[in-house]
């Protein structure tokens, strides 16, 4: 591999914005926020990145379901377009 062309790959702590769960992994992302992470060697300071969805809060992994308001969507459609008929069916 060519030297000095690859981004810095370093430990980063990711935090789920919904559940607050955190995990330490490696990434090239940077952040101005930091967090203390306890390890067997003692406490270390790592960059903190807050993300919207992780496996801790994603419906696929948690088994949760999202409620889809289909009735509301149908009502919205009828309010917008009414009970129009196409010209071919009006005959």
45-66 in b/e burial notation, b at 16+ Cβ within 10 A? ebbbbeeeebeebeeeeeeeee
Distance CA 20, CA 48 (A): 12
By C-alpha distance, which of 59, 35, 61, 37 is closest to 49?
35
Q: Which pLDDT tens digit goes with each residue over 4-50?
A: 898 889 999 999 988 889 999 999 999 999 999 999 999 999 999 99
Q: How confident is the model at residue 86 (pLDDT cuts 50, 70, 90)?
A: low
More confident residue, 52 or 55: 52
**DSSP-derived pairing of the beta strands 10-16 and 22-27:** antiparallel
pLDDT at 63 over 60: yes
Query: Residues 72-85: pLDDT tens digits?
Result: 777 787 788 877 76
User: pLDDT at position 55, please?
Assistant: 76
């Amino acid at each position: 591999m060519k030297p000095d062309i690859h981004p810095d790959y370093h430990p980063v702590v990711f935090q789920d914005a919904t559940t607050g769960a955190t995990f330490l992994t490696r990434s090239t992302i940077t952040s101005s926020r930091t967090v203390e992470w306890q390890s067997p060697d003692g406490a270390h300071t790592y960059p903190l990145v807050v993300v919207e969805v992780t496996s801790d809060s994603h419906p696929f992994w948690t088994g949760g379901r999202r409620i889809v308001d289909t009735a509301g969507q149908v009502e919205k459609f009828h309010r917008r377009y009414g009970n129009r008929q196409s010209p071919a069916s009006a005959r």
